[in-house]
C-alpha cells in the first residue's frame, strides 16, 4: 500500500516536529533545570583561581631607613621518585646549599613520599645556581622572606616573622594586620592540558600590599645605645641591661635596647632570654630612682617644704624592721634637696611618713605605676604596686626608696618624662604611623597627655635632679656644657620571694635640664660594681653625648639648684 505524497510529507513533518520537541525539551532541561549545576561544573573544569599573597609592609625608622623588608626567596624541594643518583646529587646540592651531604642524601632517599623540603626561604641567587645544575626531581617554589638589613638592630622591638610570613613577636606581631595586607586572587581559564588559554578569561583581583610601619626609632641612636650597653655589660661583668632613649616632649622612643640580643635574620638559633624586650616586658624594683616620686608626693601634698630640714640618721627602725642608708653617717640635717641629691633611704622614709601612705599611693597611681603605658607592644607589663589596704609602715618606707614595688624601664622613662615635661605625663610611643603606596604618612593619633604634677612641682624636682648630677651621686652622668637632671638607683633584687645580694644599677635622667629634649634610662642587671652612679651613670653620659650630636640638641641655660641644709 502506498501513501499519497502529501500523507508521507505530513508523517515526516510529524516525526521531525516530535524530534524537534524532544530536542527542545532536553534543551529546556539542560538550560533551565540543570543550568546552575552544569554552569558550575563547567567553571570548575576550566577556571582556576590562584591566591596572590599580599606583599608584607616594611618597617622603617623615623628617617625612613628600612629596618625590616620583604624579598623574594625560594623553597627548594625534592620528589625522591625522580632522583637517579642520590649520592652524586647530594654532593652537588650540599655544596650549593651549604649543607652536609649526608643530610641531603637522606632527604633524597626518603621513602614513600613525593615531597621533601631541601631548603626553605633560600636566597634567589643560591636557588638559581642550584637550578642551573638541572638535577632531576628538584623543584622550586616562590616564597617571600623577611630580611632585617641592619642585622641585630633593635631585634626585640622589631620582632620576627615565621616561615609563613606571619609576625611572631615584637612590632611584627603587634601590627600584623597593618603589615600583612589583603591577599588577592587571579582567576584564569585553562585548557585540557592545564595551560592558560591566551585569549581566555582572566580575572585579577590584585592583592593589597601591607602598609609601611614608620617607627619612632632612630637607627643611629639605637646603634649607639646598643654599643654603649654592650660595653657596659661587659665591663661591669653584668648579666644584662636595658636602655631607653625617649623624646621628653612627645614620648617618641628613639632607642630601646636590651642586652643580650639576637639576629632576627636567624631567630631560630636565638637564646630565649635574648628575645625578650626587657624594657617593656620585664619588671624591676626601681630603687632610688623612685625617690623622685616620693619628693613629688611631698611637694604636691604640701606636707614637706623645700626648706624643711630633717635630722637624718643612717639607720632607723620601721614597723619592726631596720632600714638604713647605703653608707654609715652621723645624724645629718637634710632638706628634700639633700635627700634626693645624696639618695638617703632614711630621709626618704621620713618624708614618706610625713606625706602618708594614701597620698604616696595616689601619686604613684597618677604616674601610671601598676598600669601598662600603652606603648603598643605585645606583652607589656604594668608593674606591681601593693594594694593600699595592705600598706603598713614598712611598705610605705620601702616604697619611698623604690623597694617593694616594680615597674618596667619604659614606665620609669615615662615618669621622668613627666617631670621633664612640666608635670604632663605623655604616653611613650614606638610607632609614628603608617604609609601607603603614595608615601603619605598616616600619623597614629597621639594619646592625650594628662597632668600629674603642677608646673611648680615639676620645676622644683628638675632642680633637685640637677643637683644629683652636680653635687650628688650622679656625677658620672655630667656632660661638659650641658646641665643634666637625673637620679641614680641601686636596687636589691628579689629572687624567689627573698632579697638577695644581687643588684640592679640604674640611672634615669634628661637633658638639658631647663629645656629637656631627651629622657634616657640606663639599667644594668647585676653589675660587679653595684651602684647606679658607677655602673649606669657613665653609660648615660656616653649615650647622651651621642644623642646631643645626632638630634642636634642645643644647650640651654642651667636651672638653679634647690635649697640645701648647708645653705647656698
Partner 1 sequence: MSLPAREAERWARPAPQPTRRRAVTPARAPATRPPIPNPPHPQRRTRRGHHPAFWIFTSAVLSAMVVGLVSLNAMRIDAAYETRLVSERVRLLTDERRTLVNDVAHLSSPSRIGTWAREEGLVSPAAGDVVILQVRGTSGSMGSSRGKE
**Residues carrying an active site annotation:** 288
Give the x-and-dash track for 485-514 against partner 1 (CB under 8 A). Answer: ---------------------------x--
Among 70, 121, 406, 427, binds partner 1 (CB under 8 A): 70
| 338 binds partner 1 per the rule CB under 8 A | no
Residue with smaller CB distance to partner 1, 172 or 470: 470
| 482 binds partner 1 per the rule CB under 8 A | yes
- Residue 378 gets which letter from DSSP? T
Among 345, 398, 421, 483, binds partner 1 (CB under 8 A): 483
Residues pairing with 74 in the sheet: 122, 142
Written as nine digits, the cell of 426 is 605623655
Residues 6+ apart with CB under 8 A from 509: 416, 465, 469, 474, 477, 484, 485, 486, 487, 519, 520, 540, 544
Residues 6+ apart with CB under 8 A from 375: 253, 280, 410, 427, 428, 429, 430
| 396 binds partner 1 per the rule CB under 8 A | no
Q: Residue 34 and residue 24: Cα distance in Å, rounded? A: 14
| 437 binds partner 1 per the rule CB under 8 A | no
Strands (E), 367-447: 424-425, 431-435, 441-443
Among 47, 52, 65, 309, binds partner 1 (CB under 8 A): 65
Among 220, 282, 300, 525, binds partner 1 (CB under 8 A): 220
Give the x-and-dash track for 151-190 against partner 1 (CB under 8 A). Answer: xxx-------------------------------------
| 545 binds partner 1 per the rule CB under 8 A | yes
Helical (H) or strand (E) element with 188: strand 184-189
| 548 binds partner 1 per the rule CB under 8 A | yes
| 562 binds partner 1 per the rule CB under 8 A | yes
Give the ranges where 109-169 is alpha helix by DSSP (H): 124-131, 155-158
The candidate with the shortest Cα–Cα distance to 148, out of 237, 70, 215, 202, is 70
Residue with smaller CB distance to partner 1, 39 or 71: 71
Q: Residue 340 and residue 471: Cα distance in Å, rounded? A: 11
Residue with smaller CB distance to partner 1, 366 or 517: 517
Count of CB atoms situated within 10 Å of the CB of 438 = 5
| 470 binds partner 1 per the rule CB under 8 A | yes
| 254 binds partner 1 per the rule CB under 8 A | no
Residues pairing with 352 in the sheet: none
Q: What angle do CA 198, 204, 206 make, to 5 degrees?
A: 140
Q: What angle do CA 256, 260, 265 make, to 5 degrees?
A: 80
Stretch that binds partner 1, among 18-26, 93-101, 431-439, 542-550 (CB under 8 A): 542-550
Among 223, 235, 381, 444, binds partner 1 (CB under 8 A): 223
SS3 category, 137: coil
Stretch that binds partner 1, among 313-321, 445-453, 499-507, 552-560 (CB under 8 A): 552-560
Among 140, 147, 173, 314, binds partner 1 (CB under 8 A): 147
Residue with smaller CB distance to partner 1, 290 or 541: 541
Site for partner 1 in 1-40 (CB under 8 A): 5-6, 9
| 52 binds partner 1 per the rule CB under 8 A | no
| 232 binds partner 1 per the rule CB under 8 A | no
SS3 category, 150: coil
Q: Residue 473 and residue 565: Cα distance in Å, rounded? A: 17
Site for partner 1 in 75-134 (CB under 8 A): none
Stretch that binds partner 1, among 81-89, 323-331, 368-376, 560-568 (CB under 8 A): 560-568
178-215 per-residue burial string, b: 16 or more CB within 10 A, e: under 16: bbbbeebeeebbeeeeeeeeeeeeeeeeebebbbbbbb
Residues in binding contact with partner 1, number by CB under 8 A: 52
Nearest distance in Å: CB 219, partner 1: 6
| 302 binds partner 1 per the rule CB under 8 A | no
| 467 binds partner 1 per the rule CB under 8 A | yes
Among 400, 462, 478, 523, binds partner 1 (CB under 8 A): 478
Nearest distance in Å: CB 153, partner 1: 6
Strands (E), 347-401: none
Q: Residue 432 and residue 487: Cα distance in Å, rounded? A: 29
CA-derived radius of gyration, the chain: 35
Stretch that binds partner 1, among 133-141, 175-183, 218-226, 492-500 (CB under 8 A): 218-226
Q: Residue 224 and residue 109: Cα distance in Å, rounded? A: 50
| 560 binds partner 1 per the rule CB under 8 A | yes
Q: Residue 491 and residue 499: Cα distance in Å, rounded? A: 10
Written as nine digits, the cell of 118 is 631541601
Written as nine digits, the cell of 43 is 567553571
Residues that bind partner 1 (CB under 8 A): 5-6, 9, 65-67, 69-72, 147, 149-153, 198-199, 202, 219-220, 223-224, 226-227, 467, 470-471, 478-483, 512, 541-542, 545, 548, 554-564, 567-568
Amino acid at each position: 500500500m502506498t501513501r499519497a505524497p502529501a500523507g508521507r510529507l505530513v508523517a515526516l513533518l510529524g516525526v521531525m516536529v516530535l524530534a524537534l520537541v524532544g530536542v527542545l525539551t532536553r534543551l529546556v532541561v539542560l538550560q533551565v533545570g540543570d543550568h546552575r549545576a552544569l554552569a558550575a561544573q563547567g567553571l570548575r573544569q576550566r577556571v582556576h583561581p590562584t591566591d596572590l599573597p599580599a606583599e608584607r609592609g616594611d618597617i622603617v625608622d623615623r628617617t625612613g631607613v628600612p629596618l625590616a623588608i620583604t624579598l623574594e626567596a625560594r623553597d627548594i624541594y625534592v620528589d625522591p621518585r625522580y632522583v637517579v643518583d642520590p649520592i652524586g646529587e647530594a654532593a652537588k646540592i650540599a655544596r650549593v646549599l651549604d649543607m652536609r651531604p649526608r643530610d641531603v642524601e637522606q632527604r633524597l632517599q626518603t621513602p614513600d613520599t613525593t615531597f621533601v623540603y631541601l631548603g626553605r626561604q633560600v636566597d634567589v641567587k643560591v636557588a638559581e645556581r642550584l637550578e642551573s645544575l638541572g638535577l632531576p626531581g628538584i623543584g622550586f617554589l616562590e616564597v617571600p622572606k623577611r630580611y632585617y638589613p641592619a642585622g641585630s638592630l633593635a631585634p626585640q622591638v622589631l620582632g620576627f616573622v615565621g616561615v609563613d610570613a606571619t609576625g611572631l613577636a615584637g612590632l611584627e606581631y603587634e601590627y600584623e594586620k597593618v603589615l600583612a595586607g589583603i591577599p588577592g586572587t587571579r582567576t584564569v581559564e585553562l585548557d585540557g592540558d592545564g595551560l592558560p588559554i591566551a585569549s581566555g578569561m582572566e580575572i585579577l583581583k590584585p592583592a593589597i600590599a601591607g602598609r609601611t610601619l614608620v617607627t619612632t626609632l632612630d637607627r643611629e641612636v639605637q646603634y649607639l645605645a646598643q654599643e654603649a650597653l654592650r660595653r657596659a655589660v661587659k665591663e661591669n661583668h653584668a648579666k644584662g641591661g636595658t636602655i631607653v632613649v625617649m623624646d621628653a616632649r612627645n614620648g617618641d622612643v628613639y632607642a630601646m635596647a636590651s642586652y643580650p640580643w639576637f639576629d632576627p635574620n636567624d631567630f631560630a638559633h636565638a637564646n630565649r632570654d635574648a628575645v625578650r624586650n626587657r624594657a617593656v616586658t620585664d619588671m624591676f624594683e626601681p630603687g632610688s630612682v623612685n625617690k623622685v616620686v616620693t619628693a613629688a608626693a611631698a611637694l604636691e601634698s604640701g606636707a614637706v617644704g623645700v626648706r624643711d630640714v630633717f635630722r637624718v640618721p643612717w639607720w632607723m627602725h620601721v614597723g619592726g624592721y631596720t632600714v638604713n642608708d647605703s653608707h654609715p653617717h652621723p645624724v645629718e640635717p637634710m632638706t628634700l634637696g639633700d635627700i634626693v641629691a645624696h639618695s638617703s633611704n632614711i630621709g626618704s622614709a621620713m618624708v614618706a611618713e610625713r606625706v602618708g601612705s594614701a597620698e604616696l599611693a595616689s601619686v604613684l597611681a597618677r604616674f601610671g605605676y601598676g598600669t601598662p603605658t600603652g606603648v603598643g607592644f605585645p606583652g607589656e607589663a604594668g608593674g606591681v604596686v601593693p594594694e593600699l589596704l595592705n600598706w603598713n609602715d614598712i611598705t610605705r618606707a620601702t616604697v619611698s626608696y623604690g623597694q617593694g614595688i616594680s615597674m618596667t624601664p619604659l614606665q620609669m622613662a615615662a615618669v621622668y618624662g613627666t617631670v621633664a615635661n612640666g608635670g604632663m605625663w605623655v604616653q611613650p610611643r614606638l610607632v609614628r604611623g603608617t604609609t601607603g603606596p603614595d608615601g603619605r604618612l598616616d600619623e597614629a593619633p597621639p594619646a592625650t597627655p594628662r597632668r600629674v604634677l603642677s608646673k611648680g612641682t615639676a620645676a622644683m624636682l628638675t632642680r633637685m635632679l640637677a643637683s644629683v648630677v652636680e653635687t650628688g651621686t650622679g656625677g658620672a652622668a655630667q656632660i661638659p656644657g650641658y646641665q643634666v637632671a637625673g637620679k641614680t638607683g641601686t636596687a636589691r633584687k628579689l629572687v624567689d620571694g627573698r632579697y638577695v645580694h644581687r643588684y640592679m644599677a640604674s640611672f634615669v635622667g634628661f637633658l638639658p635640664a631647663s629645656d629637656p629634649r631627651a629622657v634616657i634610662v640606663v639599667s644594668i642587671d647585676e653589675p660587679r660594681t653595684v651602684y647606679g652612679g658607677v655602673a649606669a651613670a657613665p653609660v648615660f653620659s656616653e649615650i647622651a653625648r651621642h644623642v646631643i650630636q645626632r638630634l642636634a640638641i642645643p644647650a640651654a641655660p642651667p636651672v638653679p639648684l634647690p635649697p640645701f641644709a648647708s645653705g647656698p
